[in-house]
Amino acid sequence: MSTRRVVVTGAGVISSIGTGVGEFAEALRAGRSGVRPISRFDTTGFAHANGCEVTDFDPGKWIRTVDTESLGPAARFATAAARMAVSDAGLDEDALAEQRCLISIGTTDGESQDLDRMVGMSIDGGPQAMDPVLARRISAGRLSTAIARELRLRNAEAATIATACSAGNYAIGNGLDAIRLGEVDFALCGGADAICRKTFTIFYRLRSIAPDCCRPFDRDRMGILTGEGAGVLMLESLDSALARGARIYSEVLGYEMSCDANHPVAPHQPSLARCMELALRDAGVKPEEVDLISAHGTGTKANDLTETRAIRDVYGETVPRVVSMKSMLGHTMGAASAMAAIGCSLAIDRGFIPPTINHVETDPECAIDCVPNVSVPADLRIVQNNGWAFGGNNAVVVLGKYDPDEDRVRRKAG
Amino acid sequence: MSTTELVISAWSAISPFGYGRDAFARGVLDRRDTAAPVDRDRWSVPDSTACVVPDFDPRVVLGSKGTRAMNRVSGLAVATTGQLLDDIHFAPGEDTGFVLGTTTGSAQSMMDFTRTSLTEDKPFHVEPANAPGCVMNCAAGQAAIWHGMQGPNTTIAAGRATGLMALKYTRRLLLAGRADKVLCGVAEEYSDARAWLEYHRRGGGNVMGEGCAILLLELASKVAADRSPLATVAGIDVQVCLDGDVAGTLRVLVRRLLDEVGIEPSQVWSACADASAGAEEAVLREMFGDDAAEVVPSLDLIGDTSAASAMFQVAAVLSVAASDPRSSGRYAVVSAVDDHGAVASVLLRLHPPAGRSGDE
């Protein structure tokens, strides 16, 4: 087994609170909220319909090679974020194009926004009336191949991970393993989703959409707000990053997955705990070494209670601070854990903890310090990033400050 | 035996040929075309003919408990997984991974849900029991619940290249030590929604198929004593075709794969193209000759199974190899091409039939 170390050398973000790492980091530090009334679909008939939409996205600014009309909204987000990540990593696109690389984009809904539109066409004019342009955009694999086409990455392994709301962490872990095993030196990993009627309606019907804003861990939390956007990380072998003098945001220390095999939508405490334990073991990290947990933290009654209990199962009574970036970003579905991983990397790099906003009173049953409302300066060495999903698909990524003197992977092997 | 040698040690399928490995193998060996007139009472599709799994209904095949809201693709995945686990008498747990390929989950479940939201009195008058089936990982999650698979559970999508991408992902899981065994498959359902999407996507003219094929992958060093490897996954390589020259990309890819593994074209017993791609078939025929191109039939026999096509082609190779002694110790190439550029190829080394468990 290879002991190659893996670092994050670039990131691209499109979110309701900012585009690009600079804006995104400052928004997280400032505790900005992306909430506004949903405009992507007609919300008539819903008693409330706030969401966290991206309002200032100009695909043409980032997508130059591929015809944007051939891409659905999720593929556009993914492709734009990937180009940002390559640029942020200081990599020359022509040089990268010759490299073997992995492209792994996670998603919950793929191009469900297009499917929704086709249903509308079908209701009005029968199935014959559906737009072929939209039909050609539906295959979820295109979220990843679009990036290869746009960046001319012919030696890419491009596949989409469709494990719902933990898919971003799955994708990062996939990149971690591909680099550790020596298959590639570069991996563009992350997640993308666009707000759609289908998923909003699912959560609304399950009484899991908050009427106003998302309040993770609060006594009066009422659910999620659906969000959208993309987060793509440039993962790189440490050797490659050092050889080219790249800036290193963070090191990917480890990850792991578990499957509840229990209930299609309800989180399962023992399985979440097992996933965290396995990820920490993969990272060669003990719970007491972790400085911060970036929670899945959706703001539903069930998630926040089950998640904090599972955290205590692993951490005992000395739990580090636990924040939810979904308070600011909404639940960006397959993009969520990728955006949070970028947030963690920026927090490590810039020395702060993003707050959990909209917070009034912590639920005594959650009983954690969620860094309410205002970010705090902090020297973060190790951060755990949680992602859970419908289908019982759990994935946890462990990130750390890059320290040339400490080789955790080797420590684990020894 | 290398500690990184990856083998296929069992497989099963539900397809238009029927249920189980033997039914699939018989259909392949008989080269039976399963296209039949569409049942107009059952389907509202633009197709006149299609290849559907005979008499498939999750409630009939799996029983009424826990299947009330189960969609067709989940039913196919749950039932095929059950067949495979029964064949090998294996009870999965925390070390068993499950990797399932898809195009976009159940387009039917997703579109039905949206349709209900748009047409009922209130947009939220939808059936909550149908919600889990509207997410792309529904089939993998259901299979995990039914069969107790608590290890890594991944849904993967790469268009027509999905089956081979799933194999590559599975190899990585096993080499990284994230699972002891991985059930790796692909499932695709026939439905009104998928038929219409494909009709619009391709402008009509294709005969659609459906089904699920699942392979058991494990490291050769860890295969249980009562099971013998059927084939070694000698290599998998993938590329993205950027210039539209699919044939050229595939030729380079397969050449590279042979070089990496260190074999000559003469050692290749079978070379299978993706069922519907003419240029691809011609490349393989040119590289490996007519015998290799024809020994395993094209799975046009079960229609266009989209994301499942390459995995079914692998199952067809295993089916023919089991009854053809010339395959022994030689290689099979299976390739797949997606119209958005993904090109993939796997090289399998076939083990001697004597070493294969449960052979006819």
Please give the pLDDT value at position A240.
98
Question: Which string of DSSP letters, residue by residue, matches A331-368?
Answer: B-GGGHHHHHHHHHHHHHHHTEE--B-S-SSB-TTT--
CA of A319: how far to CAs of A7, A12, A117, A281, A290, in Å? 26, 31, 45, 17, 9
pLDDT tens string, chain B, 360 residues long: the values are 567 999 999 999 999 999 999 999 999 999 999 999 999 999 999 999 999 999 999 999 999 999 999 999 999 999 999 999 999 999 999 999 999 999 999 999 999 999 999 999 999 999 999 999 999 999 999 999 999 999 999 999 999 999 999 999 999 999 999 999 999 999 999 999 999 999 999 988 889 999 999 999 999 999 988 889 999 999 999 999 999 999 999 999 999 999 999 999 999 999 998 765 688 999 999 999 999 999 999 999 999 999 999 999 999 999 999 999 999 999 999 999 999 999 999 999 999 975 444 443
Pick from A95, A96, A325: nearest CA to A217: A325
Contact residues, chain B, for A177 at CB < 8 Å: 172-173, 175-176, 178
Question: Would an 8 Å CB–CB cutoff place B118 in contact with chain A?
Answer: yes
Over residues A134-148, mean pLDDT = 98
**Pairing of the two strands B36-37 and B49-50:** antiparallel
Contact residues, chain B, for A140 at CB < 8 Å: 102-104, 136, 157
CB atoms within 10 A of CB B167: 29
> Within the 250-289 window of chain A, which residues sit less than 8 Å (CB to CB) from chain B?
256-265, 271, 274
> Within the 156-215 window of chain B, which residues sit less than 8 Å (CB to CB) from chain A?
156-159, 161-162, 165, 168-169, 172-173, 175-178, 192, 196-198, 200-201, 203
Over residues A247-271, mean pLDDT = 95
Contact residues, chain A, for B219 at CB < 8 Å: none
Over residues A142-153, mean pLDDT = 98
In which residue are the tokens 């949206």 written?
Answer: B114
What average pLDDT is seen over chain A? 96
Shortest Cα distance from A223 to chain B (angstroms)? 16
Please give the pLDDT value at position A368.
97
Please give the pLDDT value at position B356.
46
Do B114 and A201 lie within an 8 Å CB cutoff? yes
pLDDT band of A405, cuts 50, 70, 90? confident
Please give the pLDDT value at position A407.
65
pLDDT digits (tens, 9 = 90+) for A178-230: 999 999 999 999 999 999 999 999 999 999 999 999 999 999 999 999 999 99
Shortest Cα distance from A357 to chain B (angstroms)? 28
Return the active site residues of A. 165, 296, 331
pLDDT digits (tens, 9 = 90+) for A33-86: 999 999 999 999 999 999 999 999 999 999 999 999 999 999 999 999 999 999
Say what percent of chain A tops pLDDT 90.
Answer: 96
Pick from B98, B105, B106: nearest CA to B80: B98
Pick from B287, B313, B310, B311: nearest CA to B298: B313
SS3 state of residue B107: helix
Tokens of B289: 């000759």
Q: Which runs of consecutive H residues, i.e. helices, occur in A244-300?
A: 269-283
pLDDT band of A390, cuts 50, 70, 90? very high
Compare all CA atoms of chain A with the CA of B149 and give the residue at the minimum distance.
A261
Do A140 and B242 lie within an 8 Å CB cutoff? no
**Which letter does DSSP use for residue B221 in this model?**
G
Do B137 and A393 lie within an 8 Å CB cutoff? yes
Residue A141: CA atoms inside 13 Å, Cβ hemisphere, count? 29
How remote is the C-alpha of B275 from its chain's centroid?
13
Check whether A260 has a pLDDT greater than 80. yes
Check whether A343 has a pLDDT greater than 80. yes
- Pick B132's closest partner by Cβ from A115, A258, A264: A264
Over residues A343-347, mean pLDDT = 98
Please give the pLDDT value at position B358.
41
Measured distance CA(B28)–CA(B302) in Å, rounded: 9
pLDDT digits (tens, 9 = 90+) for A352-361: 999 999 999 9
pLDDT band of A383, cuts 50, 70, 90? very high
- Pick A159's closest partner by Cβ from B98, B169, B239: B169
Check whether A412 has a pLDDT greater than 70. no
Question: Which string of DSSP letters, residue by residue, matches B152-185?
Answer: -EEEEEBTBTHHHHHHHHHHHHHHTTS-SEEEEE
Contact residues, chain A, for B177 at CB < 8 Å: 1
Question: Would an 8 Å CB–CB cutoff place A392 in contact with chain B?
Answer: yes
Contact residues, chain A, for B126 at CB < 8 Å: 201-202, 205
Question: Would an 8 Å CB–CB cutoff place A154 in contact with chain B?
Answer: yes
Please give the pLDDT value at position A94.
95
Do A154 and B175 lie within an 8 Å CB cutoff? no
In this structure, are residues A172 and A233 in contact, taking their beta carbons and an 8 Å threshold?
yes
Burial A331-364 (b: 16+ CB within 10 A, else e): bbbbbbbbbbbbbbbbbbbeebbbbbbbbeebbe
Contact residues, chain A, for B103 at CB < 8 Å: 138-141
Give strand pairing partners of B271.
B333
- Flag whether the pTM goes above 0.90: yes
Do B158 and A158 lie within an 8 Å CB cutoff? yes
